[in-house]
Amino acid sequence: MKIPLSFGAGREAALNERPLLFMLRTHVYIDGFNLYYGAVRGTPYKWLDLSKLCNLLLAKHSIFKIGYFTARIKSRPHDPDAPTRQQVYLRALNTIPNLTIHFLTHPVWMPDATSTSNPPKMLRVLKTEEKGSDVNLATYLLLDGFQNAYDTAVLVTNDSDLLEPLRVVRNVLGLQVGILCPNAKASWVLRPPTVNFLKTN
């Protein structure tokens, strides 16, 4: 896997960051689609080693956990092999010991395709949603924060919809929050003083 070294080499803003007297327990929450469309698409770096990327950009942090939040993609007439490539990449990510992959799933009842009865037999299955990865990310961000699992939460995103959970983590829980923005320009609501530090592409 290769790392696009230009990612994160841009401007950095910091405000009220604690003195780094110890290695901060850090959890990284990656918005997979935001990262792809903001920094990876159209580059040769689609096989991005997320562990190396995080350690490169957060050298003063002890990265306990990386969460990769995404959704399963469907084949399109112009790119029928896209789901296969995604699966290969996800299998590669699964080899990173401290990384977990999160899809938005919920139980639903669906008819058994092999059932010959009328009405057909129903089976309880887990359905993976194509959307909602930002909600999933926010849920784990808050859950981990309330459980005191990290000193610093770092989000790889430029999604302004995450503003409120970021405010809760920083202002209610008193924990540090950082943004690694995949784009050259970060959303104005995701800049200091909303977060402790910001790095842009």
pLDDT in tens, 137-172: 999 999 999 999 999 999 999 999 999 999 999 999
Measured between its terminal Cα atoms, the distance across the chain in Å is 19
Residue with the larger pLDDT of the pair 103 and 149: 149
Is the pLDDT assigned to residue 53 strictly greater than 80? yes
So where are the chain's domains?
12-200
Q: Write down the pTM of the prediction.
A: 0.76
Round to whole Å and give the CA distance between 44 and 41.
8
Asked: is 12-200 a CATH 3.40.50.1010 domain? The reply is yes
Q: What is the mean pLDDT of residues 48-71?
A: 93
Strands 99-102 and 61-69: parallel
Q: Are 184 and 5 in contact (CB under 8 A)?
A: no
Nearest to 53 by CA among 146, 147, 156, 132: 156
